[in-house]
């Protein structure tokens, strides 16, 4: 009996010693990873800021077949949240506690597993980089006694388990964000009538390759002139292509902003006034980056050829910027309307 008692006490002492060792073992952890994404900071921030987007790149989304998501009444910004239930992965929820637009996000992650309940701090940082945005995703906290006990018998630490998960999530975030940035659509809307109108404009000539580079400053000059002279802007900004010689890499073009009525400018002014006539046109709409503009123009002219229509040589073709880079940094949201004036269209006008 004494031997049994001694064995019992030895086992008890070992258990107590083990418990003390586990309890005093450092359970603090902090893991983070970073990646460069070829997208503006605001675009990446907005992708992360809304929890509904996490379904597309969250690294744990494919880890459980029984994952059930439940979104809160608010899914973005401070107070945004969502929760999940899964027998395979465990239950949990995450809530955004602080969000500084285009800069950083702080979140609280609560998780229920076989080891009990735990709380971790999740953080995001967004920094401008030469080729886009440097995104940092991190998680920190302290393991409970049961978590430390569980991982004491595993081959890898809790931090080592989290590291590849963050890396996988960032890789997916990069692909999803860049794919969204490159999304575009082109639609030939057909023959319609453009209402024309008075406008203020400035004209220049440059190499074809420099057109997109020069246009923003030209629009700024026209808009500033109109503001300084209390001239009301009406409608969307546009560019008229007075001459386009791709073979010789030269173009003459005017950028303009519509105004409700005719405005007389001084003779020495570089900002002039004009009037776009009411005219029958082929309208084509591009939704997406300007790098797809040539494809949109090609599709418009292909439509003209397929339908035996005749473009006018007397009126300049033009682009109207319904949603531009000045309004959003996400090129997939830019909307540009292309108009090609016609000579006596032979098909019915679309409404």
| pLDDT value, residue 345 | 47
Q: List the chain domain ranges.
A: 27-181, 185-341
Segment 237-264, tens digit of pLDDT: 999 999 999 889 999 999 999 999 999 8
Is 60 exceeded by the pLDDT of residue 227? yes
| pLDDT value, residue 348 | 54
Indicate the pTM of the whole model.
0.77
Model confidence band, residue 116 (pLDDT cutoffs 50, 70, 90): low
Tell me, which fold does domain 27-181 have in CATH?
Answer: Alpha-D-Glucose-1,6-Bisphosphate; Chain A, domain 4 (3.30.530)
Please give the order of strands across the beta sheet that includes 185-194: 185-194, 279-287, 335-341, 317-323, 238-245, 250-258, 197-206, 272-276
Say if domain 185-341 classifies as CATH 3.40.50.720. Answer: no
Is 60 exceeded by the pLDDT of residue 277? yes
Cβ burial of 88 (10 Å; 0-12, 13-18, 19+) is exposed
Mention every residue, 6+ apart, whose C-beta is less than 8 A from residue 76.
Answer: 49, 50, 51, 96, 99
Mention every residue, 6+ apart, whose C-beta is less than 8 A from residue 107.
Answer: 94, 95, 96, 97, 121, 122, 123, 124
Segment 296-350, tens digit of pLDDT: 999 999 999 999 999 998 999 999 999 998 899 899 999 999 999 999 645 455 5
Instruction: Please name the residue that has the structure tokens 């992650």.
Output: 109
| pLDDT value, residue 158 | 56
Model confidence band, residue 155 (pLDDT cutoffs 50, 70, 90): very low
Instruction: Please name the residue that has the structure tokens 């902090």.
Output: 30
Instruction: Please name the residue that has the structure tokens 């975030």.
Output: 173
Segment 8-59, tens digit of pLDDT: 444 444 444 444 434 444 457 788 999 999 999 999 999 999 999 999 998 8
- Is 185-341 the same fold as 27-181? no
């Amino acid at each position: 009996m004494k031997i049994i008692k001694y064995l019992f006490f030895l086992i008890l002492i070992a258990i107590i010693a083990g418990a003390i060792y586990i309890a005093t073992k450092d359970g603090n952890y902090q893991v983070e990873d970073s990646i460069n994404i070829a997208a503006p900071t605001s675009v990446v921030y907005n992708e992360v800021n809304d929890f509904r987007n996490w379904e597309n790149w969250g690294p744990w989304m494919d880890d459980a077949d029984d994952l059930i998501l439940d979104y809160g009444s608010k899914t973005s910004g401070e107070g945004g949240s969502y929760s999940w239930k899964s027998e395979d992965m465990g239950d949990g929820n995450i809530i955004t506690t602080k969000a500084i637009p285009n800069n950083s996000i702080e979140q609280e992650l609560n998780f229920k597993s076989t080891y009990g309940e735990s709380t971790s701090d999740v953080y995001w940082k967004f920094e401008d980089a030469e080729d886009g945005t440097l995104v940092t995703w991190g998680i920190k906290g302290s393991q409970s006694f049961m978590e430390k006990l569980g991982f004491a018998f595993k081959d890898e630490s809790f931090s080592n388990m989290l590291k590849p998960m963050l890396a996988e999530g960032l890789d997916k975030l990069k692909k999803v964000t860049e794919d969204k940035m490159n999304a575009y659509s082109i639609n030939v809307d057909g023959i319609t009538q453009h209402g024309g109108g008075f406008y203020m404009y400035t004209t220049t000539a440059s190499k074809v390759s420099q057109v997109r580079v020069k246009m923003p400053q030209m629009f700024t000059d026209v808009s500033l002139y109109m503001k300084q002279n209390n001239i009301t802007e009406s409608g969307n900004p546009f560019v008229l292509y007075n001459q386009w010689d791709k073979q010789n890499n030269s173009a003459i073009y005017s950028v303009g902003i519509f105004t409700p009525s005719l405005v007389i400018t001084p003779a020495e002014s570089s900002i002039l006034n004009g009037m776009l006539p009411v005219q029958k046109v082929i309208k084509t709409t591009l939704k997406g980056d300007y790098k797809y503009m040539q494809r949109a123009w090609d599709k418009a002219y292909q439509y003209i050829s397929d339908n035996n229509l005749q473009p006018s040589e007397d009126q300049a073709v033009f682009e109207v910027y319904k949603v531009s880079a000045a309004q959003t940094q996400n090129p997939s949201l830019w909307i540009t309307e292309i108009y090609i004036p016609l000579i006596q269209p032979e098909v019915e006008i679309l409404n």
